[in-house]
Amino acid sequence: MISDGVNEAGIAYYDNLINEMIKNNIKPLVTLYHWDLPSGIQNGWLNSSIPGYFEEYSDLMFTRFADRVDSWITFNEPAQFIQPYNDGGNPTGADGYDFQEGVTNYIAGKNILLSHGLAVKLYREKFGSPGKIGITLNGGYNEPQTRYEVDDLEAGVNNNVFFMGYWAHPIYKRDYPELMRYRIGERIQPFTEAELDLLEGSADFFGINYYTSGVTFACNHWPWCNGGIGNYCDNPTSCGAGCESWQPAGSPWLYVTPWGIRKLVTRMYFEYGSPIFITENGYSTVDSDGVHPARDAETRGDYFKQHINQLLRSQEMDQVEVIGYAAWSLMDNFEWGAGYAERFGIHFVNRTGDSFERQPKDSCLIVKEIVENNGFPATYSTTTSSTTTDTSTESTTTVSTTKEPETTTNTATTDFYSTDTTNSSLISSMSFILVVFKLLL
């Protein structure tokens, strides 16, 4: 594929970007694949040659940029961009592929994992020392609807296995999770011993994109579907969604659950033993009359404070090795299926004219202050209630930012859910935060 020619204008763009970042004391963390598959690869991630193509592309990226970049991510959220191969949708670059329910998603998944393994092996052998390379998965914590109900607990664990463990297990524990191998059989696309050798240990850190969590409960029992196949048939035991009593954001799927980030990173760290880098964490808003998107201190700003505080608790109280945090996102941008309707940025982008003027939001100043102080200033508190506007219904709701998830039985210790920042032992150090962008005001 590279032999067909290289887009030197594209290379020049990233050359200039990386150089400007370094000039401004910003450490680049480069993701090789964030869902933009080149056209011309027949059947997209179903193509058996695509791991080799990805290795060739990775070699080009490392050759051109590894002299200035020593932190890399192979894939961002494979569970998301693989979804069309699971439900018969329209994957990027794979128009007209032969969809087979319960089959094509696992073929694509194996090719993605092999592509990851080849890129990591190449980087380590040819460019690696002292660089680091990993992968980023997205997920939330599966809070059992009834805390001590065995079936609900099992449903939460199973959901995590199928959503994140599918990708993490081959990298950190050599093969797919046993539960998946047992239920799915040969459809899961078993690895050869050479492929297992390639994947085992193929990440220096575990990137996690965290936005929200959900309530999980047991619904059906495997086997299901009367012998049929498909992703739901493989894991019919886990059902759930967000909780209406939790503070909503602008996206219909996003509720404010800072306690979940601590629970998730603790589970992932003790399951896989890899340093954790939070590569995305953010809060969305939608435009509404009378509320300027830049006035977000009590929504997005408080979201960042609460989640960073819970990460600090993970590090100081749970002994989790958290090595980095990056807020999503630097500015309002194109949010895939939501287009420009949802805003995640800490900089407001004015799209009403042709200038696309960018303005720091209140949350930008909050994050800037946390970074400058290497922690929370003594005057900060995230325990107060805040008034937020549900812009989908244009109604105003007051919610407590310290509220526990309202499950049927909820007697867990308050440490996981408290957002109090008054304990000096928790706010004295935030050295684990690596600043991957500079707030220009």
- Residue 437: is its pLDDT beyond 60? no
398's torsion region: left (phi>0), alpha (psi -120 to 50) or beta?
beta
Q: What is the pLDDT of residues 94-123, one digit of tens each?
A: 766 788 889 999 999 999 999 999 999 999
Q: Which domains does the chain have, with CATH numbers?
A: 2-427 (3.20.20.80)
Q: 97-116 as b/e, with b when 16 or more CB fall inside 10 Å? A: bebbbbbbbbbbbbbbbbbb
Pairing label, strands 322-325, 276-280: parallel
Cα–Cα distance for residue pair 143/162, rounded to 1 Å = 16
Give the Å distances, CA to CA, from 385 to 10, 307, 415: 47, 16, 18
Known catalytic membership, residue 280: yes
Helices (H) and strands (E) in the chain — how many of each?
A: 14, 13
Of the candidates 121, 33, 22, the residue with the CA atom closest to the CA atom of residue 82: 33
Per-residue pLDDT band for 388 (boundaries 50, 70, 90) equals very low
Cα–Cα distance for residue pair 59/126, rounded to 1 Å = 9
Cα–Cα distance for residue pair 208/280, rounded to 1 Å = 7
- Residue 408: is its pLDDT beyond 70? no
User: pTM, whole model, 2 decimals?
Assistant: 0.86
Report how far Cα 71 is from the mean position of its chain's Cα atoms: 17
Number of alpha carbons in the 13 Å side-chain half-sphere of residue 274: 24
Catalytic residue, from 77, 143, 195, 342: name it. 77
**What pLDDT is stored for residue 401 in this prediction?**
30
Of the candidates 258, 263, 233, the residue with the CA atom closest to the CA atom of residue 142: 263
**If DSSP states are collapsed to H, E and C, what string results for 132-147?**
EEEEEEECCCEEECEC
Average pLDDT, the chain: 84
Report percent pLDDT > 70 for the chain: 82
Range among 362-376, 378-392, 426-440 with highest mean pLDDT value? 362-376
Catalytic residue, from 143, 195, 280, 335: name it. 280
**What pLDDT is stored for residue 380 in this prediction?**
62
Q: What is the pLDDT of residues 172-184, one digit of tens each?
A: 999 999 999 999 9
Q: 187-218 as b/e, with b when 16 or more CB fall inside 10 Å? A: bbbebeeebeebbeebbbbbbbbbbbbbbbbb
Per-residue pLDDT band for 222 (boundaries 50, 70, 90) equals confident
Known catalytic membership, residue 77: yes
